[in-house]
Structure 1
């Protein structure tokens, strides 16, 4: 009889759990969702987040509010989400820095691979190698020669340790085997402002931040880091065309939730992301910025988890060889 009571109790508990899960799934979301972007407002990752959040809000029937929590190469914002209540109402949109910070930072407030639930990949943004408009070299080969000959004076701007521009700049210096003078800023905006003003020489940044300036002729473009030329910048050669063999890098973005977020919420968010990435407005705006939405098969938890694991392994030796770490 005691065994029977135990079985009946477990059955009843399971029924309550299943009923609660079904009720949660049916009602979620019931209020505003916060999407944390771990970088300053107006930057390239913020632009991606706001486009996706707007479309997902329509599908979910609840607003997604973007909150910018910048600092420490994106780790402050990521840490905020890792420590948030796992109820489906706080998510993180982060880029490749989610993977590189695992090596860049000796101490993190969270375990990169195990502190989050995975929602899906959003987009993979190409990078551009750009310079102040009056820099002397006319093509990438000339720029490489110029950087090597003037390595003690050429300045390379970035948006801070862990930012996409920092990572690309580090990879560029590794590719040409030449250390350059790096100038870190507190965000992409001020870095671009000084590049436009001629206070710094070079930057390697996302098309979402450079396309309009390239098209307007206010900065000089030397290469894109995609496998092929971009429709939005047809006259800009690839880095490989310009002489940098195998220099291909994209700044992929993904959405995460705190560990322990109900699977029903994660699944609903993933489905909503897939809807958003097919939204005509999102597709069109991404195209204008030189990128494209991730395919549906990549806008899934499994795809994002696999991407993060692979990218941590890929960047670890690059960062260790450069010796650029942060506490």
Structure 2
């Protein structure tokens, strides 16, 4: 009996392996590919996802659909992808929020950013900018500090994602402003209240804020990178404006699949994605929207995530943010 059972199990394993190999060889002809993003339509992540999906679709000859699954600071989308079938038909445009910051901001995260994912390609960085409403009458970081000192009971900061939260909390601690933290479900909602004067300041990615800055409804005061950004050369860095080195924060974007993807499938996706994100056309479009292209293949994305977990863990600690 035991021998027969073992033979049956072995035969089943061989059959399933053959089915898996056949499916991998057939990839991606079976169904559309879903690219999940953790943020809503019109967000910087959404724009990048659609840019990549359109070109990936052309290269693969298969429909690639962008699916927005916002919620819980990216946890909804990330957990969904982590628990998806590792067949290549569900991938994710992830960010430092989902794969570097959340592990230090939430006590009971349901996914592991390293163990539960297959790295596919690194895409770009997003410098963040410190912005205020044009109605506030503030034109520089020093002006904002003076405003905060004169209005200690009014000053607050808004945020719609973890990078904005960590940047603002770090700034608040560094300057001793003691501003109240106001969380929002999304970055656009937070920007709306900044423009309307209901919140004092926020840190937002340049890509999301560029239109409002150009229109004049938002005033940009500084960038979060250690040095001035080539994307906004007229803006000082926060470190420069404060005369204190060490303030250096930027969001990053990468593409992942679930863990345990068949090697032929992950390689096909990784190769095609890297071809897309390293193309001159995509790099130019990323720059135009306020991002810094950082294309890198799958084998470099894994070590990068491990390094960024250390970086953002330290940033959260320095900012004094307690996990929820």
Establish whether TM, by shorter chain, passes 0.5.
Answer: yes
Residue 174 of structure 1 deviates from its aligned partner by 3.1
In structure 2, C-alpha distance between the alignment counterparts of 1:59 and 1:258, rounded to whole Å = 21
Match of 1:165 in 2: 164
Residue 153 of structure 1 deviates from its aligned partner by 1.7
Secondary structure of the corresponding residue to residue 107 of structure 1: coil
In structure 2, C-alpha distance between the alignment counterparts of 1:149 and 1:245, rounded to whole Å = 26
**Mean CA deviation greater in 134-143 or 38-47:** 134-143
| Number of residue-to-residue matches in the alignment | 309
In structure 2, C-alpha distance between the alignment counterparts of 1:323 and 1:140, rounded to whole Å = 23
Secondary structure of the corresponding residue to residue 119 of structure 1: strand
With normalisation by structure 1, the TM-score equals: 0.86
Match of 1:259 in 2: 259
Match of 1:215 in 2: 214
In structure 1, C-alpha distance between the alignment counterparts of 2:301 and 2:150, rounded to whole Å = 41
User: Structure 1 residues 227 and 103 mapped into 2: Cα distance closer, same or farther (>3 Å)?
Assistant: closer
Match of 1:6 in 2: none
In structure 2, C-alpha distance between the alignment counterparts of 1:218 and 1:202, rounded to whole Å = 13
Residue 320 of structure 1 deviates from its aligned partner by 3.8
Residue 100 of structure 1 deviates from its aligned partner by 1.0
Secondary structure of the corresponding residue to residue 316 of structure 1: helix
CA contact (8 A) 1:117 1:261 kept: yes
Match of 1:154 in 2: 155
In structure 2, C-alpha distance between the alignment counterparts of 1:20 and 1:257, rounded to whole Å = 17
Q: For residues 134-191 of structure 1, what are the alpha-carbon distances to aligned partners after superposition, in whole Å with 9 as ceiling and x for unaligned?
A: 22332122323433554432121111xx533222222222332443111111111211
With normalisation by structure 2, the TM-score equals: 0.87
Match of 2:115 in 1: 114
User: Structure 1 residues 231 and 313 mapped into 2: Cα distance closer, same or farther (>3 Å)?
Assistant: closer
Residue 66 of structure 1 deviates from its aligned partner by 1.0
Q: For residues 288-326 of structure 1, what are the alpha-carbon distances to aligned partners after superposition, in whole Å with 9 as ceiling and x for unaligned?
A: 22213213xx232x3221122112222224324523322
Q: Which runs of 5+ in 2 are unaligned?
A: 1-9
Match of 2:185 in 1: 186
CA contact (8 A) 2:227 2:240 kept: no
Match of 2:26 in 1: 27
Match of 1:61 in 2: 61
Match of 1:7 in 2: none
Secondary structure of the corresponding residue to residue 84 of structure 1: coil
1:250 and 2:250 aligned: yes
1:304 and 2:301 aligned: yes
In structure 1, C-alpha distance between the alignment counterparts of 2:196 and 2:290, rounded to whole Å = 24
In structure 2, C-alpha distance between the alignment counterparts of 1:36 and 1:204, rounded to whole Å = 25
Secondary structure of the corresponding residue to residue 292 of structure 2: coil
Secondary structure of the corresponding residue to residue 241 of structure 1: helix
